[in-house]
Amino acid sequence: MSVLIYVELDNGYIKKTSLEAVAYGAKVAEKTGGQAVVLALGKAENAELEKAGKYGATKVLHGADAKLEHENSLAYADALVQAAAQEGSKVIILSKSGLGDAMAARAAAKLKAGIVSGVTALPETEGGFKVTRSIFTGKAFATTEIKSDIKVLVVRKNAVEIDEANLTGSNAAVEAFQPALRDSDFTASVLSVEKADSELSLTEAEIIVSGGRGMKGPEHWQPLIDLAKALGAATGCSKPVSDLDWRPHHEHIGQTGIKVAPALYIACGISGAIQHLAGVNGSKCIVVINKDPEAPFFKAADYGIVGDVFEILPKLTEAAKSLK
């Protein structure tokens, strides 16, 4: 029995969250006594796909049909189901994202499989198959038992620890995979793609520096950007900031924006409304900078700094530069 892991591609490269899913799937395969098989759809070089082996995969199925170049949850879900049938996979794993959620739901329906989204830890396989998942926007956890023959897991970022410096796996074998594509999956087609002009994706970033109305306007954003550059971080913002057009909407983090789970989240001048907290509570470490000691965000912070962001940010930037 194999474990099948779908990996998302971005400009021909495997997304970091998908590599985490591969590492998670490899550990599940160890528990179930199978092998970890990866499915990649779209354009990518073999050298890029082979590196999935370093995270525990034994082989990669690559669907390179030109029709699969642009993300299509209908066609991708069909391909995922066909790959699972070919490999005899009883556990299917995807990383949590807009595409991953859509594919997982469709594939689970086709396979009559149990599905759990927001998985945060490896399954318990003694006496059943139980997984822990995040509920109530990350405020609590639930243990769910999946009793179906085939199981679909949608894994949150940071579900497993990966030591990038000590990866021991070897390159995976890459095999061509040609799913039977249905015309009905392509009734709508992508004419063009316009991506946000940013150096780092918020969903992939290990460090995020985010600003709120306490930054006092778009003309005062440079100290925050300077810190982000010094740390190699992505920049984000609260909903009011994006609503005021201080920052582009693709930087909006929160329940109605992008949900993130970096290793480090630095909030600058953000009060900490519940909608924003729902988008960042997957972060490993939260640092809050605010001049109001009663700001709600401090209750969720691992570290808090009470003070003026315009005095603190330059000092943090200098400290970050000195460390490098």
Residue numbers in the known binding site are 213, 269-276, 290
CA angle in degrees (0–180, nearest 5) for 123-83-125: 15
Q: Which helix (H) or strand (E) holds 27?
A: helix 16-32
Three-class SS state of 277: helix
Residues annotated within a binding site for FAD: 213, 269-276, 290
Which among 219, 222, 214, 304 is positioned nearest to 265, based on CA atoms? 304
CA angle in degrees (0–180, nearest 5) for 72-84-201: 40
User: What distance in Å separates the CA atoms of residue 181 and residue 176, rounded to the nearest whole number?
Assistant: 15
User: What distance in Å separates the CA atoms of residue 113 and residue 301, rounded to the nearest whole number?
Assistant: 38
CB 21 within 8 A of CB 5: yes
The token pair at 74 is 């209908």
Radius of gyration of the chain (CA): 21
